[in-house]
Amino acid sequence: MLNKATFCILVVMVILTSVVSAQDRLNPPYPRLAMFDMTHFGVWPNYSPGTRIDMLEKYDMLILYAFSDANDQLMAQEMRRRNPDQILLGSGINGIWVNDPPAFMLYRSYRGTLLEDIEPGQPSFRVDTVEGADLGVYSDDRVYLWIGDEIVRVTIIDEAENIFHVVSDTSYPGAVNEQHFAGDSVLSAIRDQGPGLYCTFSEYGPTLNGQRSWEYMAEKNIDREIPYYTGLYDGVFHDFFAYNLYIGHFTFDLDYNGVSDPEEHSNNWIGNTWGYGRDLFVETELAEMQEAYPGGAHLLNLNTGSALTDYYNLCSGHMFEGFQRFSEWSYVKYDATTWINNHSGPNTNFIFDYFPENKFYNGKNRFTEVRFGLATAMIFECYYARTAGDTYYLMFWYDEFETEMGYPVGDYYEMSNGLVARNFTNGCVVCNPTGSPQILSASDLQGGPYYRFLGGQQPDFNNGELFNGTLELSGADYGPRNLRGDGILLFNEPTVCVNDIIIDNYFNNGTSPGQDSSAFQLVGSWRDLTASGFEDFSQCNPFYSQLANEMRHSNFNGAYGYNACYAGEGEKQALYRPFIGVPGWYKVSEWHGWHGNTPGAVDEATNVPFQVVVSGEIKLRGIINQQLNYGQWNRLGYVYLPRGTDGYVKITNAANGTVIADAMNFHYMGPDYVPDTTPPASPQNIQVYTVD
């Protein structure tokens, strides 16, 4: 039996072990990867998520857009099950909506009066004046009116007749749902692009049911929108966080006297008045987190569009959104460095790097941009993501992401030509932020010698060689706030990191970086298909796709799940031809979901023929039973592949059922791998017993 002292020691050891484990989870090695998974309206559960969840689980930190996704808790539960070490933040709200108390909204100085009675569903009405109701930077439909006890959304303003046209369908938010009378007052609430209707973070604001606006918002976030009490989340992320009110945008009225504050008060007065309630909102929300789930990490990450160096005692970090689009390197350097020098506790600063739709044709293969963003993130102790689209609906995984650099050793340092470097336990990272090409010399680096790692996506750059000379890091100047650069990860020891090469049937939806859109080709007529989704992930068709809601864009038409065709004589073919950057032995595997919305709804072929061809010679051949092993990599065999595109996999419809063309995986085994082709020995000395 344990004595009391021994028992206490064991309890302390368990507690310390738990603390260390938690600290490690919140302090992962570099590179640190994160993803901001915005709600993609019309996707899951309307459509199957395919392999999107498989992709999201790889990140060290994930931000779920919880407040606008009714299924966020299901997603959070699944991510917790798949990756318990992942930092999970729920996206809260700092603006309010039409079903929130109108008194808590921020209004313009506009004051109008109804000139007529209005009824529920009425599409328009006349006021004494519309002047000043829409002063801002956006169109008429960003105008919301406070009349009586409800908020009404404007669609068109007729300035000549002083008429507001509004939403008329009472089933939609913002329609007139109550009767109002001539003489009733009309105020104009401020709606911005992101946060919704601004909340009146001001000491002049009203109290409702004993609450101030910041108390109401904090409680709404933590108790209802996220919800934090479940223990699924490590903290909260706020997108479009209005740290400052942008003076030129609106004629707002924080002190409720009908006079525009930018005209009546100084910028300093406005900043202090807004900041009073804004800071209390942050403090109250942190307190609500602690009360809702005392054992949580209580992280708070903000996306503000400006530096938050005075928030390092309240927040765990913030997002640098749109790096290489509208978040410049010098700003990241200043803000992140100040944060590093002053902040204590977990650090969740996050560089969110993405390219727009017009670069979909090759955006994933702009490796200098990826290296520039990742090197910047690592030097300044940030998480990093590379994604695509203005609503961030695609994500990509790079060779560099799989490396193990460890933790920073000392501070970063600058070289005479403007290059910036930082040492890590397993190597060093170098970044070129100058906006012009620069030469990196091995003699300029602290420590060493260093090796480039061997990677397959850009093998001429990541060539695995000892770095003992010089190399050029590219750079370009697109304006004073748009300097592009390059970076490199160097290692203390020879390092190999050849990511799996995935050739998907839709280029942007699953094909790996480093591949061309021609890597997948169809011969004959195949159907583009997706499938319905279900809240139970196990019921969702597990085709290989990260987005399957039939999205359309001039440079992206791949929002499907898989291709399929009916049985035939082999006249229909699907070819997967990867670019091999590092020659060697590869394990070749096939992926398929089921055909239709549910397994067994339509019979897939049980004998889909495949061939693996290298330099014109068939190296492997066989059949795939597509009624088995849905949603996983199914090994076809091992083959030596030379550098280039001389190898490919072909499947045909010479089969007994529906043939699915989805994805192929080429997993690097090494240059000297010897596949085991010896069949297992026959069992010996078998005894058979009969049981009555």
Q: What is the mean pLDDT of residues 90-110?
A: 89
* Cβ atoms of residues 507 and 517 within 8 Å: yes
Report which residue type is found at 315.
Answer: C
> How deeply is 569 buried, as exposed, middle or buried, from its count of CB atoms within 10 A (0-12, 13-18, 19+)?
exposed
pLDDT digits (tens, 9 = 90+) for 66-75: 655 567 888 9
Using a 10 angstrom Cβ sphere, with 0-12 exposed, 13-18 middle and 19 or more buried, the burial of residue 582 is: buried
| This prediction's pTM | 0.92
How confident is the model at residue 98, as a pLDDT? 85
User: Mean of the pLDDT values across residues 430-445?
Assistant: 97
Residues contacting 601, CB < 8 A, separation 6+: 594, 595
Percent of the chain with pLDDT over 70: 90
Over residues 592-629, the pLDDT tens digits come to 999 999 998 889 999 999 999 999 999 999 999 999 99
pLDDT attached to residue 192: 74
Contact indicator for 576, 649 with CB cutoff of 8 Å: yes
Instruction: Give the pLDDT of residue 686.
Output: 60
pLDDT tens figures, 147-158: 999 999 999 999
User: 213: helix, coil or strand?
Assistant: helix
- Give the separation between CA 319 and CA 237, rounded to whole angstroms: 9
Average pLDDT over every residue of 289-302: 95
What per-residue confidence (pLDDT) applies to 229?
Answer: 93
Q: Tell me 208's DSSP state.
A: B
Return d(Cα 121, Cα 377) in angstroms, integer: 52
Count of Cβ atoms closer than 10 Å to residue 474 Cβ? 17
- Positive or negative: CA dihedral 366, 371, 377, 383: positive
* pLDDT of 19 strictly over 50: no
Is pLDDT at 11 greater than 50 in this prediction? no
pLDDT single digits (tens) 244-264: 887 666 789 999 999 999 999
What is the number of other CB atoms lying within 10 angstroms of the CB of residue 391?
15
pLDDT band for 555, please (50, 70, 90 cuts): low
Amino acid of residue 531: A
pLDDT of residue 136: 64
Instruction: Kindly state the average pLDDT of the residues 479-484.
Output: 78
User: Residue 393: its pLDDT value, please?
Assistant: 85
pLDDT band, residue 324 (cuts 50/70/90): confident
Please determine, for residue 96, whether its predicted confidence score (pLDDT) is greater than 70: yes
- Neighbour-count burial for 106-130, b at 16+ CB within 10 Å, e otherwise: bbbbbbbebeeebeeebebbebeeb
Q: What does the pLDDT read at residue 646?
A: 97
Concatenated DSSP letters for 60-125? Answer: SEEEE-GGG-TTHHHHHHHHHHH-TTSEEEEEE-SEE-TTS-GGGB-BBS--EEBSS-B-TT--EE
3-state SS, residue 270: helix
Residue whose C-alpha is closest to residue 228's, from 10, 335, 121, 73: 73
If one counts every other C-beta atom within 10 angstroms of the C-beta of residue 13, the result is 10
pLDDT digits (tens, 9 = 90+) for 194-208: 667 889 999 999 999
